[in-house]
Structure 1
Amino acid sequence: MIHNGPPHHSNEGYAYAKRMIDVINRCYHLQHGCMFTSVVPTNIFGPHDNFSIEDGHVLPGLMHKCLLAKQRQAAGEEGSFVIWGSGTPLRQFIFSEDLGALMVWALREYDSIEPIILSVPEEAEVTIKEAAMAVVEGMGYTGKVTFDTSKADGQYKKTACNDKLMKLNPNFKFTPFSAAVAKTCAWFEANYATARKGGH
């Protein structure tokens, strides 16, 4: 799966570097008998994330922008929660607490050099608009929401299949997306002064 076609040009170097982890794991196994593997998560979010608007990942960045809009609204200032792009691209998000539990499972139970995707199912994929609306609800924001279509959308979708994970760990239950977003929003707002957030 991870070697299926070239990666999107927007993160080509990063993507090929990640792919090479699988290659070197197989080479170590062939030459030295080592049982290294690689886990491949989808878009991670949760408390203690990097909430930088400039260089954080999409969901914590949206949370930061939404909280700033909420603060402006509370101060009586005009403005809106602005989301870059049309909101149509699709993403699979995994809650950091779920990923942590799956990492522990992989360390204890997964005994293969083949990479394994740690992700929510394909049907749990959401649009950026749906993710932004979950942030609006989780943050308790009641102001204006705007999609800035002058900004690029990026890759339309990056769907990952978790069939292998579910076959090996069929009883794992993922935290519902809205609940995970709400928990992360609450953590960020409560810890705004000390949370990682770049220059903002």
Structure 2
Amino acid sequence: MEGAGLVGKRILVTGGTGLVGRAIEKVVADGEGQPDEEWIFVSSRDADLTSTTETKALFEKHKPTHVIHLAAMVGGLFRNIRYNLDFWGAGFWGSPPCRSEKSLHPQRRNILINDNVLHSAYETGVQKVVSCLSTCIFPDKTTYPIDESMIHNGPPHSSNFGYSYAKRMIDIQNRGYFEQHGCRFTAVIPTNVFGPHDNFNIEDGHVLPGLIHKVYLAKQTGSALTVWGTGKPRRQFIYSLDLARLFLWVLREYDEVEPIILSVGEEDEVSIREAAEAIVEAMDFRGELVFDTTKADGQFKKTASNAKLRRYLPSFQFTPFRQAVKETCAWFNTNYANARK
């Protein structure tokens, strides 16, 4: 046993250098970690999770007792529309670090990641895995607000069906591992996450970080701010640092296999126009705001219920949206040279 009882939790975070991974790392470093927890943040540089061999070696090297599985290929609306097949399986952009597997097609590489992580966790006796899903997995045709019981009730929106179905399959695997092997594998479903260390690419990133970058450039050039779409679609945004704190709670306290939605309340849903206006205010942008209605809006809304979360954590305090936007914009301004964009 080599003193396994003395070690406590050894927590492996895949995708540890991304938006949510960096937020968890900061929250832990800022004092919300516990003395019996050892945190290990890994990225694609540490192992190619599409490789069964490399994934298994990663688990054998670090011997985690718990896993937070964040590694995923993510992108904004327009990237999803163009590359639904590549998004199937939620993997990484580009060639894998393991060049011997370079001949594999991108979509084939992507499919392997979740299966490798969950199976390696099972094989090495990991006590708990918390994977990260997305509200885009929910059916396009549905009633609102959506809740955890509705995930598999119909097809997702056509704009991102590849990514959505891939994420749904994690829920299926979690149930399978629990029913056959008693594994405590679960998943969280955040709404639109944003914050420091996001991907601020205008074309391929998500809407809010993309808008932050657009405002930054518009200020530099003195041009108008052009927002793609009508600005009418509505979204619930969650600050990455709030999500990180909730991840810690799920890892330590949440014992269900069924997923849980991590989101602000329905009353905190904002339109894309309102989000753009919050960024304009935070960045002190004085130019014109224009909406390019020739661009697709995507799904009009996907309002999620956080009633289940509130039953567990009735007093959890979310960072107010405009404050979180202001902090994110300040981080981007300070770290522009090194930000992902």
SS in 2 for 1:38: strand
Pick one of 44, 50, 54 that aligns with 2:203: 54
SS in 2 for 1:36: strand
**Which AA in structure 2 matches 1:24?**
Q
Q: Over alpha carbons, which structure has the higher Rg?
A: 2
**Which AA in structure 1 matches 2:274?**
E
Where do 1:7-86 residues align within 5 Å?
7-73=156-222, 79-86=223-230
Pick one of 267, 273, 297 that aligns with 1:123: 267
Question: Deviation at 1:32?
Answer: 0.3
CA distance in 2, matches of 1:147, 1:17: 32
Structure 1: any 5+ residue segments left out of the alignment?
74-78
Higher relative contact order (CA 8 A, sep 6+): 1
Query: Deviations along 1:122-169, whole A, 9 cap, x unmatched?
Result: 111110000000010111111111111111111100111110001101
Q: Does 1:172 align with 2:316?
A: yes
Question: Deviation at 1:93?
Answer: 0.5
CA distance in 1, matches of 2:303, 2:152: 14
Q: What fraction of aligned residue pairs are identical, expressed as a percent?
A: 66
**Which AA in structure 2 matches 1:85?**
G
Question: Deviation at 1:13?
Answer: 1.1
Q: Does 1:189 align with 2:328?
A: no
Where do 1:75-114 residues align within 5 Å?
79-114=223-258
SS in 1 for 2:261: strand
SS in 1 for 2:185: coil
SS in 1 for 2:186: coil
Question: Deviation at 1:34?
Answer: 0.5
CA distance in 2, matches of 1:138, 1:45: 15
Task: Give the equivalent residue in structure 2 for 1:132.
Answer: 276
Q: Size of the alignment, in residue pairs?
A: 192
Question: Deviation at 1:28?
Answer: 0.4
Task: Give the equivalent residue in structure 2 for 1:76.
Answer: none
CA distance in 2, matches of 1:168, 1:190: 37
Pick one of 143, 146, 153 that aligns with 1:4: 153
Query: Deviations along 1:72-114, whole A, 9 cap, x unmatched?
Result: 12xxxxx201000110001111000000000001101101101
SS in 1 for 2:302: coil
The normalised TM-score by structure 1 is 0.94
CA distance in 2, matches of 1:105, 1:138: 30
SS in 2 for 1:129: helix
The normalised TM-score by structure 2 is 0.56
CA distance in 1, matches of 2:153, 2:288: 41
CA distance in 1, matches of 2:330, 2:287: 18
Pick one of 297, 318, 328 that aligns with 1:153: 297
How big is the alpha-carbon RMSD for the aligned residues of Structure 1 and Structure 2? 0.8
CA distance in 1, matches of 2:225, 2:155: 34
SS in 1 for 2:289: strand
Question: Deviation at 1:5?
Answer: 2.2
**Which AA in structure 2 matches 1:100?**
A
